[in-house]
Structure formats: structure tokens, C-alpha cells
Amino acid sequence: MAVTADRIDTATVLFTDLVGSTALRSRIGEEAADSLRVTHDQLVGDAIAGARGIVVKHTGDGMMATFPAAVDAVAAGIAIQQAVDGHNRRGAEERFEVRVGISVGDVTFTTDDCFGLPVIEAQRLEAAAEGGQILCAEIVRHLARGRGGYEFVSIGDLDLKGIPDPVPAVEVRWEPVVQVAMPRETPLPPVLARPPGFDLAGRQPELDVLLDAWKDSAAGRRKVVLLSGEPGIGKTRLATETALVARHHGGLVLAGRCDEELELPFQPFAEALRFQLELGDEVPSEWFGSLASELVRLVPELADRVPGLAPRLSGDPDAERMRLFEAVTSWLRTTAASVPVLLVLDDLHWADRPTLLLLRHLVHETAHDAVCIVGTYRSTARTARRLSTTKRGWHRAGFRQPSQRRSPESSRSCPNPHVSSWKEPRWQAIPSSRSSQWPPPGCPRSR
């Protein structure tokens, strides 16, 4: 009879858990949840193996792994979050979040399990984390001794269930992986390209709102900013200034406008798509997303660019419209998985209803994508009322519109454009652990 003796060793222990898995399962159904579980296991398992970790066991909707070195466990935690984030940003149908806890110390290994206070501590830290967060016992940071250059932020002592003394804990900062920065000489879309005759005068508070939104969105937190005001007050100009900074940071600037006379369906989206198409080889054809065949309705030339497009499905008008909405969403999410996108939709006061419905759909479907949507509209036009229906929809979905920031020079004789950066509802908030990683290292931070 073979007898395997238990072994005591020092190890760094990492726990993961899929956030809200039970609710997710009942929402998407058993089969979809099983397939998501396979994806989750693959992503988390690969990240652990890639950092020299060993998966000890699966724990409900997570994993427990051990590592020979503290720095490896931290690297694995970051790789897990980046892999999940990449999955979410690539336009996956079902997105999910994972929390991670790490501790270290002497543990007892059996053939297929591992026990000890560090194991309990790691599990409790994981339970204390939010989705997207990595929490470590502070001792993990001390043992890593600066290796890997990781950033830790102290979050104080945590009372963890079953652990006698409070545990000093730290959060590990991580940043999404973005592969591409657009060349600085990439042209701006025609709507924004007109070189301004004068340097921008004033408008700093408004520009700050726009640039904050841009930076936040580049870290995978989609933002919506609406600029409104009288004709000629400088709405498009502010959007152009934002575009110049976004381009300088390596972002992709897309734009389109609505036209009073033309009344082309989905005109601003079609113009933005055509612009991306005209950038040629700067933009890989995969960026047009998995439903590019539907986008041909907006820009027929796309059929010549994207090889092997599936024939477009036809059906009842509602189903066709929904597929188009999904195709536009897939295009922008797929593009934003590689490069942060600034999408300017100019003159929305002339937008027709389908365009506004598409905008609303896009806003809802891109909460975790590196997309900044800037819409401009004349607040005086009767058609601004149309947009108010869209805005009411956002309100109902829990978005909040903060009060306007005003320029110091604001006065009755010199009105300012109204800049409102829409805040996410709580249920869509991304944990604060995601710090902005844009611009990429080496890129200057201002124009």
C-alpha cells in the first residue's frame, strides 16, 4: 500500500472567484453558463500556468493555485485580470469579472489539496475583493521586494472571517493590455479636420471634462459626453480639441455628423465607419468585427475590404435593424479592444430616431470598452427634443448627468457650451483598481 506523507512547505496561495456566478447562470441559462465556465477556466488556468503556478483545485466558480515565489502569484493575479478584461473587451457575448486574493506562508500539501492559515487568508482576501480587484496580504509585497515593478496600494488592516488578528492588506494595481497606438500623423475625420484659425480661447473647464472622460475611457470605462449650446458657440471645436489630444495619445478618432437635408439613415455612424475604412492598412480588417457583413448596409465598399464576408441575413425589418445595431457594437468593441476609440457624433439635433436608438444601444453595450462617445447638439433647435428621449432612456437605466461645470469667464453675454459627462449607474461601475494605462509608456501626456 502506497502511503503519501503530507508535506509542509512555504508557498504563495492564490484564490480566484467568478463574480455573481449564480445570478449569471440563472440569467444566461445552463448551457451558456457552462460554456462561459470553460472560457473562464481556460483564461485563468493559462494565466496561472504562465506564471509558474500549479492549480491545486477548482473551487466552485474559481481556482486555488500555489506558487513558489510571491512575485509569480502577483504576476498571475495581474495576468488573470488582464485576460478576463481582454475577453470582455473583444466583444464577447457574455462578460464576467473575477476577484483575486493572495497570501503566503507555510502550508501543508496533501496529494490533491493544501491547508493552512495562508490558504484561509487568501480565500478571505478574495472574498473581500471586488470584481476586477486583486487583494494581497501585505507580506506578499514584502516578499516580492520590488521584483516585477508592480504597484501596490495599502488598504489598511482587514478583519477577515476566521482569522484571529486583522490582516494588513494591499491592492495590486493592474492595467489593461492594449496592443496598438495609432500613428500620430493619422488624419482626423473630415468633420473635425478643418484646421482652426485661432488657438482655443478659454473653455478649459469644458475641455477638462472631455479629457477626463477620454482618459477614463481609454482604460476600458466607456464614457459619454454631450456638448450642447447655441450655433457657433464652439461645440465642434471642443470636440476637435479633444480629438487632437486623443490622437496624440495614440487613440483612434472616428467621427460623423448628422445632416439636416440629407436624412441618411445612421449617417454619423456610416461616416465614422467609412473613415475607418479609408484609413486603409493602418486598420486591420478584423477590427470591423464579427458581423461586418451587416455593416455593408452602411458602407457598401466594406465588402471589397473585408475578405470572406458571410452573406447578409435578411428578415423582418426589426430583426434586420437589431443585427445592424449589434454589428455596429461589434465593430466598435472589436476596434476598441486594440486601440482606444474616440467617437464624435456631431450635430445630433438632426439625428433621426433610428440613429438615436443605435446610439442608445451602443452606450448600453459598451460599458467596459475603451470607447469615448462625444455627441454635440444645438440646444436651441426643436429637434433637440428628440435627443431628450434618448437621454430619458439613459436616466431610466440609471445614468446620472452631473451639473454643468462652468468656465470662469461664464456670463450672460458670453454663454458657454454645456458639457455633461454621463456617470454610470452603480451596477455598471468598474472597480477603482483599474488605473488608466493610456497613453502607453513613453507617450507624452499632453499635446
Q: Where do contacts with ligand ATP occur on this chain (CB under 6 A)?
A: 196-198, 200-203, 229, 231-237, 347, 378
Nearest approach in angstroms of CB 226 to ligand ATP is: 13
- 12 contacts which partner out of ligand ATP, Mg ion, none, CB within 5 to 8 A by kind? none
Nearer to ligand ATP, 187 or 231 (CB): 231
Identify which of 29, 77, 18, 36 has the alpha carbon closest to the alpha carbon of residue 53: 77
Amino acid in position 64: M
Nearer to ligand ATP, 61 or 271 (CB): 271
Asked if 420 and 402 count as a contact pair (C-beta separation under 8 A), the reply is: yes
- What does the alpha-carbon distance between residue 274 and residue 260 come to, in Å, rounded to a whole number? 20
C-alpha grid cell for residue 42? Answer: 481556460
- Four-residue CA torsion sign, 19, 23, 27, 33: positive
Nearest approach in angstroms of CB 251 to ligand ATP is: 20
- 418 contacts which partner out of ligand ATP, Mg ion, none, CB within 5 to 8 A by kind? none
* Chain Cα centroid distance, residue 119: 32
- When asked if residue 12 is in the footprint of Mg ion (CB under 5 A), the reply is no
Stretch that binds Mg ion, among 68-76, 194-202, 236-244, 407-415 (CB under 5 A): 236-244
Nearer to ligand ATP, 180 or 258 (CB): 258
Nearest approach in angstroms of CB 366 to Mg ion is: 24
Amino acid in position 323: R
- 274 contacts which partner out of Mg ion, ligand ATP, none, CB within 5 to 8 A by kind? none
The label of the residue with cell 472571517 reads: 161
Nearer to Mg ion, 12 or 240 (CB): 240
Contacts with Mg ion by CB under 5 A: the residue count is 2
β-strands 54-59, 62-67 pairing: antiparallel
Nearest approach in angstroms of CB 240 to ligand ATP is: 7
Nearest approach in angstroms of CB 400 to ligand ATP is: 25
Nearest approach in angstroms of CB 408 to Mg ion is: 24
Nearest approach in angstroms of CB 215 to ligand ATP is: 21
The DSSP code sequence of 180-227 is ----TTPPPPHHHHSPPSSPPPS-HHHHHHHHHHHHHHHTT--EEEEE
- 425 contacts which partner out of Mg ion, ligand ATP, none, CB within 5 to 8 A by kind? none
End-to-end CA gap in the chain:
73
User: Given candidates 12, 133, 236, 240, which one binds Mg ion under the rule CB under 5 A?
Assistant: 236
The label of the residue with cell 482652426 reads: 196
- What does the alpha-carbon distance between residue 73 and residue 54 come to, in Å, rounded to a whole number? 10
The label of the residue with cell 501585505 reads: 138
Q: Which residue is nearest to ligand ATP (CB)?
A: 234
Per CB under 5 A, residues contacting Mg ion are 235-236
